[in-house]
């Protein structure tokens, strides 16, 4: 039993030492292969249809595409107390020549809830995106954003709110140190 254990340990050490030293004479081949593979990667750029490359002119919007024109895309709600709910409605006009359909509107976090015009907005008519921002658990500068996807060009538009959320009236620490609450 003892001989088998020693034989197995010796075999493991032999395999380990020979496998770790396999690159001793192959440095030039490995470097050349690495350089060749980097050249191949650099010569084949990744094509992403959502990102415009340098020198590429963005596709002109179709003449018939609906256009979402906002009166304002950012609303400053000023300073509010923590726990208040801020509501604002972003109004837009379809300045295109075909009906505008909002596919989806999503917020950056669960504290922001968008509600939008669900039916198609005819050319020249107005629609709206109502945004509700709950400040519970938020402090300091806030910038909730709503991403709107529609059948417009560009198909993604962002509207946002910004402002400052003051902490609740419970003091935390002052010049004399932490405050004890009973």
Half-sphere exposure (Cβ direction) of 114: Cα atoms closer than 13 Å: 25
Coil, helix or strand at residue 5: helix
pLDDT of residue 4: 76
Residues 88/80, Cβ–Cβ less than 8 Å: no
User: Does pLDDT of 103 surpass 80?
Assistant: yes
Share of the chain above pLDDT 70, in %: 62
User: Does pLDDT of 50 surpass 60?
Assistant: no
- Residue 24 CA to residue 83 CA, distance in Å, equals 66
Q: Which two tokens stand for residue 169?
A: 């009236």
Domains in the chain and their CATH numbers?
68-166 (2.60.40.10)
Residues 160/74, Cβ–Cβ less than 8 Å: yes
CA nearest to 85, candidates 77, 76, 75: 77
What's the predicted TM-score (pTM) here?
0.59
Q: Which two tokens stand for residue 128?
A: 């709206």
Kindly tell me the number of DSSP H helices and DSSP E strands found in the chain.
2, 11
Mean pLDDT of 73-92: 95
Q: How confident is the model at residue 10 (pLDDT cuts 50, 70, 90)?
A: confident
């Amino acid at each position: 039993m003892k001989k088998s254990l020693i034989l197995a340990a010796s075999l493991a050490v032999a395999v380990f030492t020979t496998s770790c030293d396999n690159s001793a004479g192959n440095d030039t081949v490995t470097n050349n292969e690495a350089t060749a593979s980097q050249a191949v990667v650099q010569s084949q750029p990744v094509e992403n249809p959502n990102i415009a490359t340098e020198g590429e002119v963005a596709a002109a919007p179709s003449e018939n595409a609906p256009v979402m024109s906002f009166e304002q895309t950012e609303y400053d709600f000023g300073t509010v107390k923590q726990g208040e709910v801020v509501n604002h409605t972003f109004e837009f006009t379809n300045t295109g020549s075909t009906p505008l359909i909002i596919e989806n509107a999503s917020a950056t976090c669960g504290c922001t809830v968008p509600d939008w015009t669900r039916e198609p907005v005819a050319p020249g008519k107005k629609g709206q995106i109502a945004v509700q921002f709950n400040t519970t658990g938020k402090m300091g500068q806030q910038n909730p954003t709503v991403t709107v996807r529609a059948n417009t060009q560009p198909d993604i538009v962002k509207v946002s709110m910004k402002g400052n959320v003051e902490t609740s009236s419970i003091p935390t620490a002052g010049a004399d140190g932490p405050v004890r609450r009973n």
